[in-house]
Amino acid sequence: MTSSKTQYHVSLRGDAILTSSRWNKGTAFSMAERKAFGLTGRLPNRVNTLDEQCERAYDQLQARDSPIRKNCYLQSLKNQNWVLYFALLSRHVRELVPIIYTPTEADAIASYSRLFRRSEGLYLTLPDQDTMEQDFLEQVKGRSIDLIVCSDAEQILGIGDQGVGISAAKAVIYTLIGGIDPSRVLAVTLDVGTNNEDLLNDKLYVGWSNKRIRGEQYDQFIDKFLQLVRKHLPHCLVHFEDFGVTNAQRILARYRDTHPVFNDDIQGTGAVTLSCVMSAIGVTRTKLSDQRFIVYGAGSAGLGITKQLRDAMVATDGIPEEEADTKFWLIDRNGLIRQSTPDVREDLRAFIRSDEEWSSFTGKVGLLDVVKQVKPTVLIGCSTHAGGFTEEVVKTMAAHCERPIILPLSNPCRLVEVKPSDANEWTRGKALLATGSPFPPAKMPNGKDYVIAECNNALIYPGLGFGAMLCQARKMTDTMIIAGARRLAELSPALEDPDNALLPDFEDAPQVNFEVAVAVAEQGIEEGSAGVDWSKEEVRAQAKAQLWEPVYAEYTYDPHGEA
């Protein structure tokens, strides 16, 4: 990785530089630059500051009357001018992240083919795999790439299979909140078809109109892509996004020991949830291994959370993994996952409960049944079952727990397992709460507002990625992720006031992720996973030097410079 410079030698002139999103400054080009780059007749006379451009762009944005229109405007701005785009976002983080990311980005992806204007990133399609290496090199030649965000778009949260949809929003968050140079990031679509009939029957669909490929042919396609990354970009972090439950864990397990790879749906969700729980047990003054966890929803997110909590329990409390497995009760559409549950995925087998301990139940064992028998201290929802945590479930839990930890994490807000205001009311303000989407504060019995922490992956995954890139990690280890989660938990406002939020405010996400990155890189160096020769004491200074910031540099025209 390299830091953003204050001066560049650029070879583009005229319309070429004005249409380059990386180099364009618009009306912020100085008079000297306008003369040097042939722009004096292509721009109006006034030279604007970046602040003035942001004010103008924000006014234009506000004229759009819906989140999806705002999303489209911001996408257009990004295609025109990276610095202005990121500068505008950085001035309005809380307001605009929900527009460019969860939840509005889901609507944009669902309408990807209808809204399509300009290609972005790299599209690799299964029937064209014979030219994959050539297509790959066309995109990366002459570039230094630190991060690839790739997706096969099978399981986009809340909207499912979208066939083809570039993972640009994740890459944007890496830059906005993690400080990653956008010129060193590549978004990749792995188009293996779609089972979405609406898309297959849409004449405007821009992807491969074919049923989704599975099995050996799918695995060979994914492997061919990963081997290209290993061959040409051996130090590049690969971020997996929105892979289906049948593939996500399997692909991560296959490649995590041979290349720095990261699955946000599994590890990012698990890490930020771990931070939430660490913060909560800091309030209750208990240990991870003291908890009894019910995880409602056993897909990629639920399993990722479970494994992250289990691994942290082993690492921090020193108990055997087999004992840690017994602290979890997982529930899916068939009820509690136990020996007699049909069609249990292989990756869930460590958490199967015995039929013997539930012998008094016939048929499906539901959430309320499990809560009554287990008396959990932590209830985690990632089921997208709106209202699944009923009043009876919550009150039953609270009757046996002084400070119940309740984390309804499903997105978007309409799919949340329980509204935090209801959970707060039903527990008489005892619950320690966090949600996956933003919610307003809940009122405590004493009249005080209880700030609902947003358990948003963006509070941690950019820092996890930046830390791995910073130390040139050979792989992203569990201990590196736990180190980042622990650092996030240490920044919890609840540790200063137990009735405050379990996680830092989202507006502080850039500073928080910087701290996460430092912790991850320090752990990588300490355990020998890093590819740099620094000491731990040098990490913070190196991280500061390598942050990318959205400010205009000075340009000098050079026919042999950067393009």
What are 431-461's pLDDT values in tens digits?
999 999 889 999 888 888 999 999 989 999 9
Instruction: Pick out the residues of the known binding site.
Output: 241-242, 265, 411, 456
Q: What is the mean pLDDT of residues 224-241?
A: 95
Instruction: Pick out the residues of the known binding site for (S)-malate.
Output: 411, 456
Predicted local confidence at residue 3, as pLDDT? 55
Q: What is the pLDDT of residues 536-545, one digit of tens each?
A: 999 999 999 9
Q: Is pLDDT above 70 for 69?
A: yes
> Residue 395 class from Cβ within 10 Å (0-12 exposed, 13-18 middle, 19+ buried)?
middle
Sign of CA dihedral 172, 175, 178, 181: positive
Quickly count helices (H) and strands (E) in the chain.
Answer: 23, 16
Predicted local confidence at residue 110, as pLDDT? 76
Predicted local confidence at residue 113, as pLDDT? 76
* Confidence band of 1 (pLDDT split at 50, 70, 90): low
Predicted local confidence at residue 158, as pLDDT? 63
Q: For domain 118-263, which architecture applies?
A: 3-Layer(aba) Sandwich (3.40)
What span, in angstroms and rounded, lies between the C-alpha atoms of 157 and 146?
Answer: 26
In Å, how far are 72, 247, 413, 474, 532 from 386, measured between CA atoms?
A: 29, 26, 9, 41, 47
Q: Is pLDDT above 60 for 2?
A: no
Among residues 25, 85, 101, 255, which one is catalytic?
A: 101
Q: Is pLDDT above 80 for 486?
A: yes
Task: Give the list of residues 6+ apart from residue 448 with CB closer than 8 angstroms, or none.
Answer: 499
Tokens of 375: 């008396």
Q: What is the mean pLDDT of residues 279-300?
A: 95
* Confidence band of 185 (pLDDT split at 50, 70, 90): very high
Q: Which of 176, 156, 151, 179 is nearest to 103 (CA)?
A: 156
Among residues 25, 70, 170, 307, which one is catalytic?
A: 170
Q: What is the mean pLDDT of residues 118-135?
A: 93
Asked if omega into 412 is within 30° of 0 (cis), the reply is yes
Q: Is pLDDT above 90 for 212?
A: yes
Q: What is the mean pLDDT of residues 147-161?
A: 85
Rounded to a whole number, what is the distance in angstroms from the first to the last CA of the chain?
Answer: 19
Tokens of 90: 């950085």
Domains 7-100 and 118-263 share a fold: no
Domain ranges of the chain: 7-100, 118-263, 268-456, 460-546
Q: What is the pLDDT of residues 325-362, one digit of tens each?
A: 999 999 999 999 999 988 888 889 999 999 999 988 88
362 against 496, higher pLDDT: 496
Predicted local confidence at residue 245, as pLDDT? 82
* Confidence band of 260 (pLDDT split at 50, 70, 90): very high
Predicted local confidence at residue 166, as pLDDT? 63
325 against 116, higher pLDDT: 325
7-100 carries CATH number 1.20.1370.30: yes
Predicted local confidence at residue 115, as pLDDT? 80
Q: What is the mean pLDDT of residues 96-121?
A: 81
Q: For domain 268-456, which architecture applies?
A: 3-Layer(aba) Sandwich (3.40)
- Percent with pLDDT over 70 in the chain: 98
Q: Is pLDDT above 60 for 512?
A: yes
**Is there a catalytic annotation at residue 101?**
yes
Q: Is pLDDT above 70 for 99?
A: yes
Q: What is the mean pLDDT of residues 409-428?
A: 93
Q: Is pLDDT above 70 for 4?
A: no
Predicted local confidence at residue 103, as pLDDT? 76
Q: What is the pLDDT of residues 310-325, one digit of tens each?
A: 999 999 999 999 999 9
Mean model confidence pLDDT for the chain: 93
Predicted local confidence at residue 431, as pLDDT? 96
Instruction: Pick out the residues of the known binding site for a divalent metal cation.
Output: 241-242, 265
> Residue 386 class from Cβ within 10 Å (0-12 exposed, 13-18 middle, 19+ buried)?
middle
